[in-house]
Amino acid sequence: MKKGVTLIELVVVVALGTILLSIASLSVARVREERVLVEARSKIEGLLRLYAERAYNDGDEYTITLDYEDKNIKVEDRDMKILDRLELPENLKYTTIISNTKQTTQVATAKGSGWTTSFSIYIFDFSEKGRYRISVDGINPSNLTHINVYKNKRADVTWDNVVSYDFNEGKWEKE
């Protein structure tokens, strides 16, 4: 009888250990994913703000190419000289929707008078759920750059439905 109790105890301990390890690995994966998402959001937002401010303050012009396929951002001056290049996290997906089509690249120009276009960049997590939306308002009467970052709270936007998704500000939290 004593051998049976020891075997049952061993099975229970191993099962509990396995459960605890599974929970811990899920928590680590979630923390890692959140860090990668924040990194991507920060890189994109920071670069857009930096060159919008430089364009406005100095009267310069910068072309920013967001390459969603190769997952990088390139900044060029008027002479097409590369001034900056950032790599985006590989395991996320990014897109801008134009004319009901997912774009593999987005090219925007920051001028002293503001952006030449308005657009939004969606950032998707590992499971392809939309987690951030970075909105650039290039056409406004004040000529000031408006870059708004929204974090998804309740919106059901995924990589597969983003083209047909209708942005509802109430389901996103402005940061």
Domain assignments of the chain as residue spans, ordered by start: 2-174
SS3 140: coil
pLDDT, one tens digit per residue, over 123-146 is 999 999 999 999 998 766 555 668
> Which tens digits make up the pLDDT trace of 83-100?
999 999 999 999 999 989
Cα separation of 83 and 174, whole Å? Answer: 30
pLDDT at 39: 97
Rounded Cα distance between 78 and 98, Å, is 25
Tens-place pLDDT, residues 112-121:
777 778 899 9
Q: Where would I find the beta strands (DSSP E) of 11-164?
A: 62-67, 72-76, 82-87, 93-95, 97-98, 101-102, 105-111, 114-115, 119-124, 130-137, 146-152
Asked whether the CA dihedral 93, 97, 102, 106 is positive or negative, the reply is: negative
The residue behind tokens 């939306």 is 133
Mean of the pLDDT values across residues 11-30? 71
Strand partners, 93: 124
Q: What is the mean pLDDT of residues 16-31?
A: 70
Beta bridge partners of residue 97, listed in sequence order: 102
Q: Which of 111, 124, 104, 113 is nearest to 165 (CA)?
A: 124
Q: With pLDDT > 90 as the criterion, what percentage of the chain qualifies?
A: 58
Return d(Cα 92, Cα 127) in angstroms, integer. 9
CATH superfamily of 2-174: minor pseudopilin epsh domain (3.55.40.10)
What is the pTM for the complete model shown?
A: 0.83
Q: Are strands 97-98 and 130-137 parallel, antiparallel or unpaired?
A: unpaired
